[in-house]
Amino acid sequence: MSEHPPKTPSREATSLAGQVLIAMPGLPDPEFAHSVVYLCAHSGEGAMGIVVNRPLAAPSFADLLVQLEVSPTPTAREIRLCKGGPVEHSRGFVLHTTDWTGDGSLKVDDTVALTASLDILKAFALGGGPKEGILALGYANWGPGQLDDEILQNSWLNTDPDLPLLFDTDHESKWARALAKLRVTPAQLSNLSGRA
């Protein structure tokens, strides 16, 4: 018999990066009510994600490029803006398909990457860039163990994403569509959170 206790799996082994988080109705933070969050990073140090179902009407992409002094204007191609989460609303991130990546791109999985450099905005403005993308102002952030605790408290469900769920413009149905991937309807969910 060994004197050392068995090793517990590291948080890296249970990383949910590349998954979609689906807010449960009982989630106490109104900022995340009915939100769908694409999780870009998840480790023992915390988690970071982008809310994909909160479109922004203003600023427009063209107005943002003028503020950032990115040309050309008018642009050859637009990208939709969304409220990516409650942290650092003035900071922008582009969640996009991996058919385009730049020096500062974080490849989350084989199909989705996250880029925070102006290069991707310039590529869109010139008519290029990735096939699909959304520009998120702000992001969602959890400290060490915080997201894991919230999942244990039944505040979030998680599932594999698909590209329409992440990038299409039908924002109103994204929460229900994410639940449907788990074969759950909103009517089946309890408004109470707690341990299962």
Task: Compute the 3-state secondary structure of the chain and give helix, strand, coil in percent, each to the nearest 5.
Answer: 25, 30, 50
**pLDDT level of residue 156 (50, 70, 90 thresholds):** very high
11 within 8 A of 43, measured Cβ to Cβ? yes
Dump pLDDT digits (tens) for 94-136: 999 999 999 889 999 999 999 998 999 999 999 999 999 999 9
Specify the CATH class of 15-186 in words. Answer: alpha beta
Name the amino acid, one letter, at 108: V
- pLDDT at residue 62, rounded to an integer: 85
pLDDT top residue among 189 and 173: 173
If you compute the radius of gyration of the chain from its CA atoms, what whole number of angstroms results? 18
Name the amino acid, one letter, at 81: L
| Three-point CA angle 147, 18, 25, nearest 5° | 45
- In Å, how far are 20, 36, 93, 99, 120 from 105, measured between CA atoms? 19, 22, 10, 12, 9
**pLDDT level of residue 149 (50, 70, 90 thresholds):** very high
Three-state SS at 43:
strand
The domain spans of the chain are: 15-186
41 within 8 A of 97, measured Cβ to Cβ? no
**pLDDT level of residue 63 (50, 70, 90 thresholds):** confident
**Weakest-pLDDT range from 5-9, 63-67, 149-153:** 5-9
**pLDDT level of residue 189 (50, 70, 90 thresholds):** confident
Between CA 144 and CA 163 the distance in angstroms is 28
pTM for this prediction? 0.86
**pLDDT level of residue 194 (50, 70, 90 thresholds):** very low
Dump pLDDT digits (tens) for 4-52: 433 333 444 489 999 999 999 888 788 899 999 999 999 999 999 999 9
- pLDDT at residue 190, rounded to an integer: 56
